[in-house]
A and B are shown apart, each in its own frame.
Chain A
Amino acid sequence: MKERNHRPAVGWVCTLATAAVLAVVVFSLPRGTGPLPAIARYAMQVALPRWGTTEPVSEIVYGTRGFDTFGETFLLLAAVVGVAIVARSREARRGFIGEEVAGRREEAAVDKPDGPPSRDERVAERAEEQERGDESETAPDTPDRTPIGAPGPETAEAMTVVVRASVRFAAPILTIAGLYLVAVGYSPGGGFPAGAAMLGVALLAYVSLGYRRVEPVLRPDVVEPIELAGALAIAGLGLAGLLLAGSFLANILPLAAPETILSGGTMQAFSVVEFVEVATGLIIAVFGLLGMRDEWCR
Protein backbone atom coordinates (compact mmCIF):
# COMPACT_ATOMS: atom_id res chain seq x y z
CA MET A 1 0.00 0.00 0.00
CA LYS A 2 1.39 3.38 -0.98
CA GLU A 3 1.55 5.63 2.00
CA ARG A 4 0.33 9.13 1.40
CA ASN A 5 2.33 12.10 2.61
CA HIS A 6 0.66 14.11 5.32
CA ARG A 7 0.86 17.86 4.60
CA PRO A 8 4.17 17.52 2.70
CA ALA A 9 4.48 21.30 2.22
CA VAL A 10 4.38 21.97 5.96
CA GLY A 11 6.85 19.15 6.54
CA TRP A 12 9.30 20.43 3.94
CA VAL A 13 9.11 24.07 5.07
CA CYS A 14 9.60 23.25 8.78
CA THR A 15 12.38 20.76 8.08
CA LEU A 16 14.24 23.06 5.70
CA ALA A 17 13.94 25.98 8.12
CA THR A 18 15.32 23.82 10.94
CA ALA A 19 18.07 22.58 8.63
CA ALA A 20 19.02 26.16 7.73
CA VAL A 21 19.27 27.18 11.40
CA LEU A 22 21.26 24.05 12.25
CA ALA A 23 23.59 24.60 9.29
CA VAL A 24 24.44 28.09 10.56
CA VAL A 25 24.93 26.86 14.13
CA VAL A 26 27.01 23.82 13.20
CA PHE A 27 29.83 25.90 11.76
CA SER A 28 30.15 27.97 14.92
CA LEU A 29 30.24 24.97 17.27
CA PRO A 30 33.54 24.39 19.10
CA ARG A 31 35.90 22.16 17.12
CA GLY A 32 37.68 20.63 20.08
CA THR A 33 40.61 23.03 19.98
CA GLY A 34 39.88 24.72 23.29
CA PRO A 35 41.06 23.36 26.63
CA LEU A 36 38.91 20.92 28.58
CA PRO A 37 36.13 22.62 30.55
CA ALA A 38 36.79 23.14 34.24
CA ILE A 39 34.33 20.44 35.33
CA ALA A 40 36.02 17.85 33.09
CA ARG A 41 39.46 18.75 34.42
CA TYR A 42 38.11 18.56 37.96
CA ALA A 43 36.71 15.08 37.27
CA MET A 44 40.06 13.90 35.87
CA GLN A 45 41.84 15.23 38.96
CA VAL A 46 39.57 13.90 41.70
CA ALA A 47 38.88 10.48 40.18
CA LEU A 48 41.96 8.84 41.67
CA PRO A 49 42.46 10.64 45.01
CA ARG A 50 38.84 10.99 46.08
CA TRP A 51 37.19 7.92 44.60
CA GLY A 52 40.13 5.60 44.00
CA THR A 53 39.03 4.84 40.44
CA THR A 54 40.89 5.13 37.15
CA GLU A 55 37.70 5.65 35.14
CA PRO A 56 36.71 9.35 35.04
CA VAL A 57 33.51 8.73 33.03
CA SER A 58 32.16 6.34 35.68
CA GLU A 59 33.41 8.76 38.31
CA ILE A 60 31.29 11.52 36.74
CA VAL A 61 28.25 9.29 36.25
CA TYR A 62 28.19 7.84 39.78
CA GLY A 63 30.31 10.38 41.66
CA THR A 64 30.63 14.03 40.67
CA ARG A 65 27.28 14.08 38.86
CA GLY A 66 25.74 11.28 40.91
CA PHE A 67 22.66 13.34 41.66
CA ASP A 68 22.00 13.67 37.93
CA THR A 69 22.22 9.88 37.57
CA PHE A 70 19.95 9.53 40.60
CA GLY A 71 17.29 11.57 38.82
CA GLU A 72 17.87 9.68 35.58
CA THR A 73 17.40 6.36 37.38
CA PHE A 74 14.07 7.43 38.76
CA LEU A 75 13.04 8.78 35.36
CA LEU A 76 13.76 5.31 33.96
CA LEU A 77 11.81 3.78 36.85
CA ALA A 78 8.86 6.08 36.12
CA ALA A 79 8.96 5.04 32.44
CA VAL A 80 9.11 1.35 33.41
CA VAL A 81 6.15 1.78 35.76
CA GLY A 82 4.32 3.58 32.94
CA VAL A 83 4.96 0.77 30.46
CA ALA A 84 4.02 -1.82 33.08
CA ILE A 85 0.72 -0.07 33.77
CA VAL A 86 -0.17 0.46 30.11
CA ALA A 87 0.86 -3.09 29.17
CA ARG A 88 -0.77 -4.82 32.11
CA SER A 89 -3.58 -7.23 31.37
CA ARG A 90 -7.06 -6.47 32.58
CA GLU A 91 -7.29 -7.85 36.09
CA ALA A 92 -10.01 -10.25 37.09
CA ARG A 93 -12.63 -8.60 39.25
CA ARG A 94 -12.61 -9.77 42.82
CA GLY A 95 -15.79 -10.26 44.76
CA PHE A 96 -19.44 -10.30 43.91
CA ILE A 97 -21.38 -7.17 43.07
CA GLY A 98 -24.80 -8.64 42.47
CA GLU A 99 -24.99 -8.96 38.69
CA GLU A 100 -26.16 -12.57 38.95
CA VAL A 101 -29.24 -11.70 41.02
CA ALA A 102 -29.98 -8.66 38.88
CA GLY A 103 -29.73 -10.61 35.65
CA ARG A 104 -31.69 -13.68 36.71
CA ARG A 105 -35.09 -12.46 35.61
CA GLU A 106 -33.83 -11.27 32.23
CA GLU A 107 -31.99 -14.54 31.74
CA ALA A 108 -35.13 -16.52 32.53
CA ALA A 109 -37.08 -14.49 29.96
CA VAL A 110 -34.56 -15.13 27.20
CA ASP A 111 -33.31 -18.62 27.98
CA LYS A 112 -36.15 -21.12 28.12
CA PRO A 113 -34.51 -24.39 29.10
CA ASP A 114 -37.34 -26.57 27.73
CA GLY A 115 -37.86 -25.05 24.30
CA PRO A 116 -35.74 -25.65 21.21
CA PRO A 117 -32.54 -23.56 21.02
CA SER A 118 -33.11 -20.21 19.36
CA ARG A 119 -31.14 -19.12 16.30
CA ASP A 120 -28.84 -16.87 18.36
CA GLU A 121 -28.14 -19.69 20.76
CA ARG A 122 -27.16 -22.04 17.96
CA VAL A 123 -24.82 -19.44 16.45
CA ALA A 124 -23.20 -18.83 19.83
CA GLU A 125 -22.79 -22.54 20.48
CA ARG A 126 -21.20 -23.11 17.09
CA ALA A 127 -18.78 -20.21 17.62
CA GLU A 128 -17.86 -21.55 21.04
CA GLU A 129 -17.19 -25.00 19.63
CA GLN A 130 -15.00 -23.54 16.92
CA GLU A 131 -12.96 -21.61 19.47
CA ARG A 132 -12.52 -24.70 21.56
CA GLY A 133 -11.30 -26.50 18.47
CA ASP A 134 -8.64 -23.80 17.93
CA GLU A 135 -7.36 -24.27 21.45
CA SER A 136 -7.12 -28.04 21.36
CA GLU A 137 -4.83 -27.86 18.34
CA THR A 138 -1.76 -27.42 20.54
CA ALA A 139 1.65 -26.90 19.02
CA PRO A 140 4.58 -29.15 19.92
CA ASP A 141 7.10 -27.76 22.40
CA THR A 142 9.88 -27.45 19.87
CA PRO A 143 9.95 -27.58 16.08
CA ASP A 144 12.16 -30.68 16.31
CA ARG A 145 9.04 -32.77 16.99
CA THR A 146 7.12 -31.39 14.02
CA PRO A 147 6.75 -34.18 11.46
CA ILE A 148 8.63 -33.64 8.23
CA GLY A 149 6.40 -32.17 5.55
CA ALA A 150 3.93 -30.72 8.03
CA PRO A 151 2.14 -27.76 6.52
CA GLY A 152 2.18 -24.21 7.45
CA PRO A 153 4.14 -21.81 9.55
CA GLU A 154 5.87 -23.25 12.55
CA THR A 155 3.75 -22.88 15.64
CA ALA A 156 6.15 -24.22 18.27
CA GLU A 157 7.14 -21.78 20.97
CA ALA A 158 10.84 -22.68 21.08
CA MET A 159 13.31 -22.68 18.18
CA THR A 160 15.19 -25.64 16.73
CA VAL A 161 17.90 -27.55 18.55
CA VAL A 162 20.59 -25.73 16.55
CA VAL A 163 19.48 -22.32 17.82
CA ARG A 164 18.91 -23.57 21.35
CA ALA A 165 22.37 -25.12 21.55
CA SER A 166 23.99 -21.95 20.17
CA VAL A 167 22.18 -19.79 22.70
CA ARG A 168 23.11 -22.16 25.53
CA PHE A 169 26.70 -21.64 24.45
CA ALA A 170 26.54 -17.87 23.88
CA ALA A 171 24.37 -16.78 26.81
CA PRO A 172 26.84 -17.65 29.60
CA ILE A 173 29.62 -15.83 27.74
CA LEU A 174 27.43 -12.75 27.30
CA THR A 175 26.38 -12.93 30.95
CA ILE A 176 29.98 -13.01 32.11
CA ALA A 177 30.88 -10.16 29.74
CA GLY A 178 28.02 -8.08 31.16
CA LEU A 179 28.98 -8.84 34.75
CA TYR A 180 32.59 -8.00 33.92
CA LEU A 181 31.51 -4.56 32.69
CA VAL A 182 29.95 -3.74 36.03
CA ALA A 183 32.31 -5.64 38.35
CA VAL A 184 35.56 -4.24 36.98
CA GLY A 185 34.61 -0.65 37.68
CA TYR A 186 38.07 0.83 37.11
CA SER A 187 37.88 0.29 33.34
CA PRO A 188 35.16 1.61 31.00
CA GLY A 189 31.75 0.09 31.58
CA GLY A 190 29.45 0.45 34.54
CA GLY A 191 25.89 -0.37 35.41
CA PHE A 192 24.11 0.96 32.30
CA PRO A 193 25.83 -1.06 29.53
CA ALA A 194 25.94 -4.13 31.80
CA GLY A 195 22.19 -3.86 32.40
CA ALA A 196 21.57 -3.61 28.67
CA ALA A 197 23.74 -6.74 28.14
CA MET A 198 21.57 -8.61 30.66
CA LEU A 199 18.46 -7.64 28.72
CA GLY A 200 20.16 -9.10 25.63
CA VAL A 201 20.76 -12.41 27.45
CA ALA A 202 17.13 -12.50 28.63
CA LEU A 203 15.86 -11.84 25.09
CA LEU A 204 18.13 -14.52 23.60
CA ALA A 205 16.77 -17.05 26.10
CA TYR A 206 13.21 -15.91 25.37
CA VAL A 207 13.36 -16.21 21.57
CA SER A 208 15.21 -19.52 21.55
CA LEU A 209 13.58 -21.38 24.45
CA GLY A 210 10.14 -19.77 24.47
CA TYR A 211 8.37 -17.84 27.18
CA ARG A 212 7.36 -20.89 29.20
CA ARG A 213 11.01 -21.73 29.95
CA VAL A 214 12.07 -18.23 31.01
CA GLU A 215 8.85 -17.38 32.84
CA PRO A 216 9.90 -18.75 36.28
CA VAL A 217 12.86 -16.35 36.31
CA LEU A 218 11.43 -13.34 34.44
CA ARG A 219 7.89 -13.27 35.80
CA PRO A 220 6.84 -9.72 36.75
CA ASP A 221 6.26 -10.67 40.38
CA VAL A 222 9.87 -11.93 40.55
CA VAL A 223 11.55 -9.05 38.71
CA GLU A 224 9.47 -6.12 40.00
CA PRO A 225 10.47 -6.51 43.71
CA ILE A 226 14.13 -6.69 42.65
CA GLU A 227 13.70 -3.48 40.64
CA LEU A 228 12.12 -1.65 43.56
CA ALA A 229 14.73 -3.00 46.00
CA GLY A 230 17.38 -1.54 43.67
CA ALA A 231 15.65 1.84 43.67
CA LEU A 232 15.45 1.75 47.47
CA ALA A 233 19.15 0.84 47.70
CA ILE A 234 20.11 3.80 45.49
CA ALA A 235 18.05 6.19 47.60
CA GLY A 236 19.56 4.61 50.74
CA LEU A 237 23.12 5.05 49.42
CA GLY A 238 22.41 8.69 48.67
CA LEU A 239 20.87 9.38 52.04
CA ALA A 240 23.67 7.55 53.85
CA GLY A 241 26.13 9.85 52.08
CA LEU A 242 24.06 12.85 53.15
CA LEU A 243 23.97 11.73 56.79
CA LEU A 244 27.50 10.36 57.21
CA ALA A 245 29.62 12.45 54.82
CA GLY A 246 27.63 15.64 54.43
CA SER A 247 26.46 15.48 50.82
CA PHE A 248 24.07 13.32 48.80
CA LEU A 249 25.83 10.20 47.39
CA ALA A 250 29.17 11.22 48.94
CA ASN A 251 31.64 8.40 49.50
CA ILE A 252 31.01 6.58 52.77
CA LEU A 253 32.79 3.29 52.05
CA PRO A 254 36.51 2.74 52.62
CA LEU A 255 38.53 3.08 49.40
CA ALA A 256 40.25 -0.13 48.30
CA ALA A 257 43.53 -0.09 46.37
CA PRO A 258 43.07 1.37 42.86
CA GLU A 259 42.56 -1.06 39.98
CA THR A 260 40.92 -3.70 42.12
CA ILE A 261 37.30 -4.82 41.93
CA LEU A 262 36.46 -3.09 45.21
CA SER A 263 38.05 0.24 44.28
CA GLY A 264 35.68 3.17 43.89
CA GLY A 265 33.89 3.10 47.24
CA THR A 266 30.28 4.29 47.06
CA MET A 267 30.68 4.91 43.33
CA GLN A 268 31.20 1.21 42.66
CA ALA A 269 28.29 0.28 44.92
CA PHE A 270 26.06 2.75 43.06
CA SER A 271 27.19 1.25 39.75
CA VAL A 272 26.29 -2.28 40.89
CA VAL A 273 22.85 -1.24 42.15
CA GLU A 274 22.32 0.74 38.94
CA PHE A 275 23.08 -2.47 37.02
CA VAL A 276 20.33 -4.29 38.94
CA GLU A 277 18.00 -1.37 38.36
CA VAL A 278 18.66 -1.05 34.61
CA ALA A 279 18.64 -4.80 33.92
CA THR A 280 15.35 -5.45 35.73
CA GLY A 281 13.78 -2.21 34.47
CA LEU A 282 14.52 -3.01 30.83
CA ILE A 283 13.35 -6.61 31.30
CA ILE A 284 10.04 -5.45 32.81
CA ALA A 285 9.50 -2.90 30.04
CA VAL A 286 10.42 -5.17 27.11
CA PHE A 287 8.57 -8.24 28.38
CA GLY A 288 5.62 -6.04 29.26
CA LEU A 289 5.52 -4.86 25.63
CA LEU A 290 5.98 -8.42 24.32
CA GLY A 291 3.21 -9.78 26.51
CA MET A 292 0.56 -7.15 25.74
CA ARG A 293 -2.72 -8.93 25.17
CA ASP A 294 -5.38 -7.78 22.79
CA GLU A 295 -8.27 -7.46 25.18
CA TRP A 296 -9.24 -3.83 25.59
CA CYS A 297 -11.29 -3.46 22.48
CA ARG A 298 -13.98 -6.06 23.12
Chain B
Amino acid sequence: MPVIVANYLCAALLFCLGLFTLLTRRNLIKMVMGLSLMEASTYVLLLSLAYRPGSTAPVLLDMPPGKSPEQVADPVLQNFCLTAIVIGVAVTGVSLAVVVRLAQHYRTLDADEIRELRG
Protein backbone atom coordinates (compact mmCIF):
# COMPACT_ATOMS: atom_id res chain seq x y z
CA MET B 1 0.00 0.00 0.00
CA PRO B 2 1.49 3.37 -0.97
CA VAL B 3 2.35 5.72 1.87
CA ILE B 4 -0.10 8.32 0.62
CA VAL B 5 -3.07 5.99 1.13
CA ALA B 6 -2.11 5.83 4.81
CA ASN B 7 -2.37 9.63 4.84
CA TYR B 8 -5.83 9.48 3.30
CA LEU B 9 -6.91 6.84 5.83
CA CYS B 10 -5.57 9.04 8.61
CA ALA B 11 -7.69 11.93 7.34
CA ALA B 12 -10.77 9.67 7.15
CA LEU B 13 -10.10 8.39 10.68
CA LEU B 14 -9.76 11.93 12.04
CA PHE B 15 -13.04 12.88 10.36
CA CYS B 16 -14.84 9.87 11.84
CA LEU B 17 -13.42 10.59 15.31
CA GLY B 18 -14.68 14.15 15.07
CA LEU B 19 -18.09 13.02 13.85
CA PHE B 20 -18.39 10.45 16.65
CA THR B 21 -17.43 13.09 19.24
CA LEU B 22 -20.02 15.47 17.83
CA LEU B 23 -22.76 12.82 17.85
CA THR B 24 -22.22 11.17 21.21
CA ARG B 25 -20.94 13.96 23.47
CA ARG B 26 -23.26 16.55 24.94
CA ASN B 27 -20.56 18.70 26.54
CA LEU B 28 -20.43 21.80 24.34
CA ILE B 29 -16.64 22.20 24.64
CA LYS B 30 -16.18 18.59 23.53
CA MET B 31 -18.54 19.17 20.62
CA VAL B 32 -16.41 22.13 19.50
CA MET B 33 -13.36 19.88 19.83
CA GLY B 34 -15.07 17.32 17.59
CA LEU B 35 -15.73 20.04 15.03
CA SER B 36 -12.04 21.02 15.17
CA LEU B 37 -11.03 17.39 14.60
CA MET B 38 -13.21 17.26 11.49
CA GLU B 39 -11.59 20.50 10.29
CA ALA B 40 -8.13 19.03 10.94
CA SER B 41 -8.98 16.03 8.77
CA THR B 42 -9.51 18.36 5.80
CA TYR B 43 -6.02 19.83 6.31
CA VAL B 44 -4.48 16.35 6.19
CA LEU B 45 -6.54 15.42 3.14
CA LEU B 46 -5.72 18.60 1.17
CA LEU B 47 -1.99 18.39 1.89
CA SER B 48 -1.95 14.67 1.02
CA LEU B 49 -3.71 15.38 -2.28
CA ALA B 50 -0.91 17.85 -3.10
CA TYR B 51 1.68 15.06 -2.83
CA ARG B 52 3.64 13.93 -5.91
CA PRO B 53 6.14 11.06 -5.55
CA GLY B 54 9.75 12.21 -5.84
CA SER B 55 8.77 15.86 -6.05
CA THR B 56 10.09 18.87 -4.19
CA ALA B 57 8.50 21.87 -2.52
CA PRO B 58 6.88 24.37 -4.90
CA VAL B 59 9.54 27.04 -4.40
CA LEU B 60 11.46 28.37 -7.37
CA LEU B 61 14.23 29.72 -5.14
CA ASP B 62 17.16 27.27 -4.95
CA MET B 63 15.39 24.43 -6.73
CA PRO B 64 17.33 21.21 -5.95
CA PRO B 65 19.51 20.00 -8.84
CA GLY B 66 17.71 17.65 -11.20
CA LYS B 67 14.25 18.94 -10.34
CA SER B 68 12.18 20.97 -12.78
CA PRO B 69 9.26 23.26 -11.84
CA GLU B 70 7.03 20.45 -13.10
CA GLN B 71 8.18 18.07 -10.34
CA VAL B 72 6.69 19.86 -7.35
CA ALA B 73 3.89 19.32 -4.88
CA ASP B 74 0.65 20.97 -6.00
CA PRO B 75 0.79 24.59 -4.70
CA VAL B 76 -2.92 25.22 -5.32
CA LEU B 77 -3.95 22.59 -2.78
CA GLN B 78 -1.50 24.06 -0.26
CA ASN B 79 -3.33 27.35 -0.76
CA PHE B 80 -6.63 25.57 -0.12
CA CYS B 81 -5.21 24.17 3.11
CA LEU B 82 -4.31 27.70 4.24
CA THR B 83 -7.88 28.79 3.48
CA ALA B 84 -9.24 25.81 5.41
CA ILE B 85 -7.11 26.68 8.45
CA VAL B 86 -8.37 30.26 8.49
CA ILE B 87 -11.99 29.12 8.22
CA GLY B 88 -11.34 26.55 10.97
CA VAL B 89 -10.02 29.30 13.25
CA ALA B 90 -13.06 31.46 12.49
CA VAL B 91 -15.53 28.63 13.21
CA THR B 92 -13.77 27.57 16.43
CA GLY B 93 -13.48 31.15 17.70
CA VAL B 94 -17.13 32.01 17.19
CA SER B 95 -18.32 28.65 18.59
CA LEU B 96 -16.21 29.03 21.73
CA ALA B 97 -17.49 32.57 22.32
CA VAL B 98 -21.08 31.34 22.02
CA VAL B 99 -20.33 28.37 24.30
CA VAL B 100 -18.94 30.65 27.02
CA ARG B 101 -22.06 32.82 26.88
CA LEU B 102 -24.32 29.74 26.96
CA ALA B 103 -22.45 28.43 29.98
CA GLN B 104 -22.78 31.78 31.76
CA HIS B 105 -26.46 32.04 30.97
CA TYR B 106 -27.60 28.48 31.74
CA ARG B 107 -24.91 27.54 34.30
CA THR B 108 -24.25 24.29 32.43
CA LEU B 109 -22.21 23.00 29.50
CA ASP B 110 -24.57 20.08 28.83
CA ALA B 111 -26.39 20.67 25.55
CA ASP B 112 -29.28 18.49 26.77
CA GLU B 113 -29.96 20.72 29.73
CA ILE B 114 -30.13 23.81 27.57
CA ARG B 115 -33.74 23.25 26.67
CA GLU B 116 -34.04 26.18 24.26
CA LEU B 117 -31.59 24.42 21.93
CA ARG B 118 -34.10 21.59 21.38
CA GLY B 119 -35.97 22.05 18.19
Interface residues on A, range: 35 or more
Chain A interface main SS type = helix
Q: A238 near B: Cβ within 8 Å?
A: no
**Docked CA distance A72–B13 (Å):** 27
The closest CB in chain B to the CB of A286 belongs to: B93
A75 lies within 8 A of B24 (CB): no
- Within 8 Å by CB of B79, from A8, A65, A79, A87, lies A65
Q: B114 near A: Cβ within 8 Å?
A: no
Q: B2 near A: Cβ within 8 Å?
A: yes
- Within 8 Å by CB of A36, from B57, B72, B85, lies B72
Contacts of B117 in A (CB 8 A): none
Contacts of A80 in B (CB 8 A): 90, 93
Residue of A36, A83, A288, A292 with highest tally of chain B CB at under 10 A? A36
Q: How far in angstroms is the closest Cβ of chain B from A185?
A: 11
A32 lies within 8 A of B16 (CB): no
Q: B40 near A: Cβ within 8 Å?
A: no
A11 and B97 in contact, given A56-B60, A61-B82 (Cβ under 8 angstroms): no
**Docked CA distance A3–B27 (Å):** 9
B89 lies within 8 A of A187 (CB): no
Q: A280 near B: Cβ within 8 Å?
A: no
B23 lies within 8 A of A7 (CB): yes
Q: A110 near B: Cβ within 8 Å?
A: no
- Within 8 Å by CB of B25, from A3, A83, A296, lies A3
Contacts of B91 in A (CB 8 A): 79
The closest CB in chain B to the CB of A26 belongs to: B8
**B34-53 at interface with A (beta carbon < 8 Å):** 49, 51-53
Known A18-B16, A37-B74, A60-B75; 11 more pairs at CB < 8 Å: A7-B24, A31-B4, A31-B5, A32-B52, A61-B79, A78-B90, A79-B89, A86-B98, A187-B61, A288-B97, A295-B104
Interface positions of B (Cβ within 8 A of A): 2, 4-5, 8-9, 11-13, 15-16, 19-20, 23-27, 49, 51-53, 55, 57-61, 69-70, 72, 74-76, 78-79, 82-83, 85-87, 89-91, 93-94, 96-98, 100-101, 104-105, 107, 112
Could you pull out 18 A-B pairs where Cβ atoms are within 8 angstroms? A6-B23, A6-B26, A18-B15, A29-B8, A31-B2, A33-B52, A33-B53, A43-B76, A56-B75, A57-B75, A57-B82, A72-B83, A78-B90, A192-B86, A289-B96, A289-B97, A295-B104, A296-B101
